[in-house]
Chain A
Amino acid sequence: MNFLTDPINFIANWLGNLLLSFGMSQTLVTVILKFIGAGLVGTFGFSLVIFTIWLERKLYGRIQDRLGPNRVGPWGIFQTFPDMIKIFTKEYITPIGVDKIVYNLAPILSVSAVLLTWAVIPFAPTIVGTDVNVGVLYLVAVGSIGALGIILAGWSSNNKYSLLGAFRAVAQVVSYEVPMVLALLIPVLLGQSMGVNSLVNAQNVWFIILSPVAALIFFTSSLAETGRAPFDLLEAESELVAGYQTEYSGLKFGMFYVGEFLHAFTISALMAALFLGGWRGPWVEQVPILGVAYFFIKTFIVYFVVVLIRISMPRLRIDQMLDFNWKFLTPLALVLLIVTAIVEKAFIILVPSLQLMEVGVPWVRAGVHLLMNIIVVWITIQLLKSHRIKAVRVVAKPRPIAVAPEPPASVIS
Chain B
Amino acid sequence: MIPLSWYLIFAAILFCIGLYGVLVRKNAIAILMGIELMLNSVNINLIAFWRYRSADGIAGQAFAIIVFAVAAAEVAVGLALIISIYRRRSSIVADDMNMMKW
* Physical contact A–B (CB less than 8 Å): no
Interface of A toward B, CB cutoff 8 Å: none
